[in-house]
Structure 1
Amino acid sequence: ENFFDFCIHSSGESEIKIKLFFISWHPLIVPIDEIYANETGTLTVCRFYTKGSLKDYIHQTKPTNSAYWKRYGRKSLSRVCDLNQIKNFGRQILEALNFIYDNGLVYGHLHSGNILFDLDQALPIKLLVGFVYNLYF
């Protein structure tokens, strides 16, 4: 039995659904439209972000351009973020993670592809919360 199975069985599917819906109202977390959960896992559904992820921003691509390798392979373009951008993005990511942790959940797989991004917004960073687990420590 793995850790995620333990969380589902221990807390119940309904509790995880309620927690996920609750945390998705935070301004730094992607709003969840639907949640499906059973004994094997949880699936969250959210709207499509046309600006893509932080990974798309770094590689100067759009989420619908082409296959993964063409978008992020060795020959793809990349940009350097300035220090102020890095500080701003980092702070927003940490605030979102802290909020998730304070609500008894752990974020399971953080990477630039799970951070949705839109510079036109006051808060350009939003965490995708399909990878959270109940906290038992």
Structure 2
Amino acid sequence: MNYREIHIGSMIQKLVKELGIESSRICNFFNIAESEIDLMYKSKTQDTETLLKWSKLLEYDFFRVYIQHLILYSPQNSKGSPDNISKKTSLPSFRKNIYTKEVVDFILEKIKSGEMTKIQVIERYKIPKTTLYKWILKYTE
């Protein structure tokens, strides 16, 4: 099984450094001490409210990291899959349609390596046939 480890705290810390945001600004924004910020950087996970605040402060959608993970590494549909569950609930249902460069590269590598056929990619990841062929023309030639 392919699995990509997500350590959101280190990702946040990296972006803070890249953006050059001072610790005092972060402490004021969260209304906490610098030692608590350091603990967040060391934490593999963040609660959703905290992650939303980081997303706002750094103007970066950290939730998309998890969405990409679901797109790339979720199991194929089966009776217990999230796609089937969403049909039975009042919660909103979402298509897997967030095609970032990372997702496109991942998909094209599956085809290039022979791990999956184009048809398998289309069926598993619910990518429209025309979209896949546009990617192939744009990125592999």
TM-score normalised per structure 1:
0.23
Return the index of the structure with the highest Cα Rg.
2
Q: Which has the higher helix share?
A: 2
TM-score normalised per structure 2:
0.23
Q: Which has the higher strand share?
A: 1
Q: Which has the higher contact order (CA 8 A, sep 6+)?
A: 1
